[in-house]
Amino acid sequence: MAIGVGLGLARFPFQDVDNFWQWVQVCEEGGIDSLWQTDRLVSDEPFLECMSALAAIAGATKRIKFGMNVASAALRDPLVLAKQCATIDFLSKGRLLPAFGIGTARAPEWKATGRDTKGRGKRTDEALEIIARLWQGESVSFDGQHYQYKDAVILPLPVQHTLPLWVGGSSDAAVARTAKIGTGWQAGLESPKRAGIAKKAIVEALKETGRKIDDDHYGTGFFYYFGSRDDNVCQRELARFGKLAPDSKLDHLLAVGADELLDQISQYVDQGIPKFILRPLGNSDAEVLQQTRHLIDHILPRLESIHS
């Protein structure tokens, strides 16, 4: 399994948008595998809209790949989403890494848009089937519980003949969804052990569907910071974890210092999870850029020693 490291953004951390574009170029030139934008439509904190952000990144870069981590298919129209992805992949010459999930029931988008959280799994299954067929160039007629289409076609098609489709979530339904249609799997809040359990379940489910997912197409993500866990930027993030899942221990979502970061990566790799979306923390634009450069200069070269 080849270890791959992408960088991701949750809340938009920059005060000056020029520093965001500087960050993108640092990643593009520094050997970062990919960039990832969290999908959040409703928030009292600044979040970029993921599809718009990826389209902009596509135009500003030449090498790096990019994806959404993860887009809630149940909140978006599948025809529009399929068309957005195909357009971005076409214009970027095949650099899009789409990733989808059902969206947590605690997400504010459901209440804000008047949607019921019940049935979002079925809605997601229908949407992903429609999207995958559109990407293959089919004329899609579909009469589902949630979506009805007749002779829907999109052009241009994605450059990637089989556009990657990463699926998130570790519920039984998410495992089945991944085995049925996914080309990769992305953990959410899962610890290394829980992510390993989910991967094993997916591998078993793939035997039933007769499909295969490459062994290095399993990933996870967490925040990192070079400094002290007592620093206010870390304490703010840990407080958010407590609100996100009050009954769960989520310390594995933050690695502080080089040794802890490398150990965290190693624990996931031990469980068969070799792809990572790392999210830098910082109190200022300059610090986010510094944290990113430190990862590129001092951590990426050391990854070759893990399980070599």
Of 107 and 85, which is predicted with more confidence?
85
Rounded CA gap, 77 and 17, in Å?
A: 29
Task: Give, as one character, the DSSP assignment of residue 157.
Answer: P
In the numeric block, which tokens belong to residue 82?
């399929």
Of 104, 91, 110, 131, nearest to 38 by C-alpha is: 104
Rounded CA gap, 52 and 136, in Å?
A: 23
CB-based burial label for 248 (10 Å; 0-12, 13-18, 19+): exposed
Tell me which H or E stretch contains 67.
Answer: strand 65-68
Residue 239 three-state SS: helix
Residue 202 three-state SS: helix
Task: Please state the length of the chain.
Answer: 308
Q: Which domains are assigned to the chain? A: 4-305 (3.20.20.30)
Mean pLDDT of 68-84: 94
Look at residue 103 in the predicted model and tell me its pLDDT.
82
Tell me which H or E stretch contains 178.
Answer: helix 172-181
Look at residue 307 in the predicted model and tell me its pLDDT.
62
Look at residue 137 in the predicted model and tell me its pLDDT.
96
Provide the whole-model pTM.
0.93
Q: Residues 6 or more apart from 277 whose CB is under 8 A from it?
A: 6, 7, 8, 34, 36, 69, 186, 219, 220, 221
**Residue labelled with tokens 């600044």:** 46
Task: Estimate the share of the chain in helix, then strand, then coil, as percent rounded to the nearest 5.
Answer: 45, 15, 35
Query: How many CB atoms are located within 10 Å of the residue 154 CB?
Result: 18
Max intra-chain CA distance, the chain: 57
Mean pLDDT of 63-78: 93
| pLDDT, tens digit, 9 for 90 and up, residues 215-269 | 999 999 999 999 999 999 999 998 888 777 776 788 899 999 999 999 999 999 9
Which residues sit opposite 255 in a β-bridge? 224
Residue 159 three-state SS: coil
